[in-house]
Amino acid sequence: MAKSCLKHLAKTSLICASLLFATGQIAGASAAEAGSLKTSSTKPNAKINSTITIGFTLEPVSLDISGVAGQAIPQVLLNNIYEGLLKVENSGKIVPSLAESYSASANGLVYTFKIAKAKFHDGANLTSADVVWSFNRVLDPKSTAVLPTQKQQFSTIASTTAPNASTVIITLKNRDNDFLFNLTQRGGVIFKSGTTDFATKANGTGPFKLGNWNRGNSITLERNEEYRGTKALSKTVIFRYILDATALSNAILSGQIDIMSTVQKPELLSVFKGRKDLKISSGTTNGEVTLGMNNSKAPLNNTKVRQAIRQAINKKALIKTAWAGYGLEIGSFVPPTDAWYEDLSKIHPYDVQAAKNLLKQAGYPNGFAITLDIPPAPYAEASQEFIVASLKKIGINVTIKPVAWGEWLDRIFTKSNYDMTIVAHVERSDMSIYADPNYYFRYNSAEYQALIKKAGSARTPAAQAESLKKAARLLSSESVSDWLWLIPNLQVVKKSVTGFPQNSVGDAYSVAAIAKD
């Protein structure tokens, strides 16, 4: 879990910061409506034979959902072509998918799944043997056909067995609160037992069958008319890949696509505002833009100083200046799609006078000088001046220092040799990074660590959420960092289109509910 930042940074330095952001990986992007957590409602009179075209930037390099890295693969395949035992709804709720129902033993180690009556696209019936085969494939220690991340996610599995054709029992080595969510993602996809070609074929169970893949241009999904549940609302869905942000935006302006699934920079939205036929959808992601402070270094080791910094920054105004008004003030490190989310933006709210008093109490009536390291990320660059100006008002002189990702990773992330920095943390359910005293925040709180541990071994999701709620409140009240905003999932959509996923809660972009009037 402590890998959230490392992961995206390493990826970034491996490829190229700007390109990666453009592809939305840093933002974890794909999309949805701040506050509203539902998939937009589908009108009953929507035509059911229409073709929907959705514009994306990055095309999959392969169809191998478990063996090749990159978000574009699960984006098109997960929940559309392939399914897992469970799936995550756009609200963040985990619901049954290929498992009709499931139950967990009291100690949380044995999960029993009742398998739905489903058919693969080639006509074969899904049985528990396929499920066992799929998990054994992921866990085979000798196999390199499955991405290490997926193997890691399921490393808590001790055994997968099938007492009969419609029941699967998965036994865990130890409690794992991420297990159910992991089942909803790419590593939990169920393949037909014995499948060998994953790269160019996709024999799934989902509401769509794979149509034509015109490399460099588009992937077409055709409705699976034999689907076991509610059939997809549109007959054909085309994932169109347009690398250039301007070309993508022109495609929706000229009516060639129905949904522009990602808006790289909010300032690009101005061209859409005057259009009566288009709407802008702003949903949530897991990306918290975090003003990281070094909790082990004076003067930031003083809670009052950190609180003063938080109270000196007007987040609402900052979001308006830096991110065109899109993005949610969260007040802690939890996105609204997590079950333990609470609106904590009222804790230590914007109040310059209170901030000045806090600095006085902390022994810095005349303020002090401090450095803010800015990595080459649009959100960081867009907020730096605002933060300098805000802190100047309470007497803190901030020097901005631009750093390349390589240096950021080495000096700040690894060696914690810094005062303040801005980075978006995009991993899901990543509160445990604050429990690691060596993580670059250098926050060492026994109370917090105990709460995270308690959440990790909680027997029910409710108990887990209870502990994490307390943990989030603690982070906020101690002002360990400041959380500037939650990166919005911005999309531009034709007004006639309904049912698209507004929030980015996992790697899938589920299209079965999309319809066009």
Question: Interface with other proteins by CB under 8 A: which residues?
Answer: 3, 6-7, 10-11, 13-16, 19, 23, 58-59, 61-62, 68-70, 144, 147-149, 152, 199-200, 212, 214-218, 220, 238, 240, 242-244, 246-248, 250-251, 253-256
DSSP codes joined into one string, 198-249: -SS-----SSEEEEEEETTTEEEEEE-TT-SSSPPSSSEEEEEE--SHHHHH
Residue entry with tokens 């996709």: 202
CB of 216 to other proteins, least distance (A): 4
Nearer to other proteins, 123 or 148 (CB): 148
CB of 256 to other proteins, least distance (A): 6
Nearer to other proteins, 54 or 451 (CB): 54
CB of 199 to other proteins, least distance (A): 5
How far is C-alpha 175 from the geometric centre of its chain's CA atoms? 23
CB of 251 to other proteins, least distance (A): 6
CB of 53 to other proteins, least distance (A): 9
The radius of gyration of the chain's CA atoms, rounded to the nearest angstrom, is 23
Nearer to other proteins, 241 or 364 (CB): 241
CB of 310 to other proteins, least distance (A): 32
The pairing of beta strand 110-115 with beta strand 167-172: antiparallel
Nearer to other proteins, 220 or 332 (CB): 220
Nearer to other proteins, 72 or 396 (CB): 72
CA 511/CA 517 separation, integer angstroms: 15
Token readout for 141 is 């220690």
**328 pairs with which residues across the strands?**
486
Nearer to other proteins, 153 or 184 (CB): 153
Q: For residue 36, report the phi and psi dihedrals to the nearest 5 degrees.
A: -80, 125
Nearer to other proteins, 6 or 347 (CB): 6
CB of 367 to other proteins, least distance (A): 40
DSSP-derived 3-state class of residue 224: coil
DSSP-derived 3-state class of residue 466: helix
Entry field: residues in the chain = 517
Q: Is the bond preceding residue 60 a cis peptide, omega within 30 degrees?
A: no
CA 240/CA 53 separation, integer angstroms: 7
Nearer to other proteins, 405 or 443 (CB): 405
Sequence-separated (6 or more) residues with CB below 8 Å from residue 279: 492, 493, 494, 495
CB of 171 to other proteins, least distance (A): 24
Token readout for 233 is 């609302």
Nearest to 509 by CA among 95, 88, 38: 88
Sequence-separated (6 or more) residues with CB below 8 Å from residue 196: none
Burial of 78 (0-12, 13-18, 19+ CB in 10 A): buried
Nearer to other proteins, 240 or 356 (CB): 240
CB of 219 to other proteins, least distance (A): 10
C-beta separation of 331 from 319 below 8 A: no
CB of 81 to other proteins, least distance (A): 18
For 28-80, strand residue ranges (E) read: 51-56
